[in-house]
Structure 1
Amino acid sequence: MKTIAALQATVTAASLDFEPTAAELDAIDFEMPLIRAEVELLDARIMTIDRPATELNTRRVRRAHNRVLAARRDLTNRTKVAASGGAA
């Protein structure tokens, strides 16, 4: 009888134990307004799952959705300015 051995090294928890780099933390910090807006939208949607569709709930979701769109717009504009080397 032949034994079957793994051809690759096993993955252990120690090999996955690492911290994010400074560049990754900066990228997260750069996108934080969008992340917060998306969390607010998710919270608004979760609140309306088991409730009847009232005008207040509809407004809450719509306002949260508009904040997400504004945050995406601002992030895109900041990305373009950073890529072009700053404002003229």
Structure 2
Amino acid sequence: MKSIAALKNRVTPWSDELEPSAAELDAIDVEMPLILASVDLLDAQIMTIDRTPTEVDERRIRRARNRVLAARRDLANRTAGTTGAGDAA
């Protein structure tokens, strides 16, 4: 009987490509403000799932939503202002 460990290399061989590339890490760094703002919005929304939102909760959600919109705007403006390789200057 063959062991599962012996078959593991055939099914999922190890590859150096499993780690993110430098370009992918840079893209994550660029999008990090939007990611964090989205997490804050989700946290604010999750806190009000099982109860009626108070005025403070509504303010917290509104501010978090505004931070998400501002982060999206900044990201869109940042990427719209850059030109890729082969693009007209």
TM-score (norm. length: structure 1): 0.76
In the alignment, what sits opposite 1:3?
none
Amino acid corresponding to residue 53 of structure 1 in structure 2: P
In the alignment, what sits opposite 1:70?
70
CA shift, 1:17, in A, is 6.9
Cα distance 1:17–1:43, how it changes in 2: closer, same or farther (>3 A)? same
Cα distance 1:54–1:18, how it changes in 2: closer, same or farther (>3 A)? same
CA deviations on 1:41-64 (whole Å, 9 max, x unpaired) are: 011011111122211111111110
Amino acid corresponding to residue 43 of structure 2 in structure 1: D
> Larger deviation: 20-29 or 49-58?
49-58
CA shift, 1:11, in A, is 3.2
User: What is the distance in 2 between the residues matched to 1:49 and 1:11?
Assistant: 42
Aligned length: 75
User: What is the distance in 2 between the residues matched to 1:55 and 1:77?
Assistant: 33
Misfit runs of 4+, over 3 Å = none
Cα distance 1:80–1:55, how it changes in 2: closer, same or farther (>3 A)? same
In the alignment, what sits opposite 1:55?
55
User: What is the distance in 2 between the residues matched to 1:48 and 1:21?
Assistant: 38
Cα distance 1:18–1:70, how it changes in 2: closer, same or farther (>3 A)? same
1:2-81 to 2 correspondences below 5 Å: 11-12=11-12, 14-15=14-15, 18-81=18-81
RMSD: 2.0
- Name structure 1 gaps, 5 residues minimum: 1-9
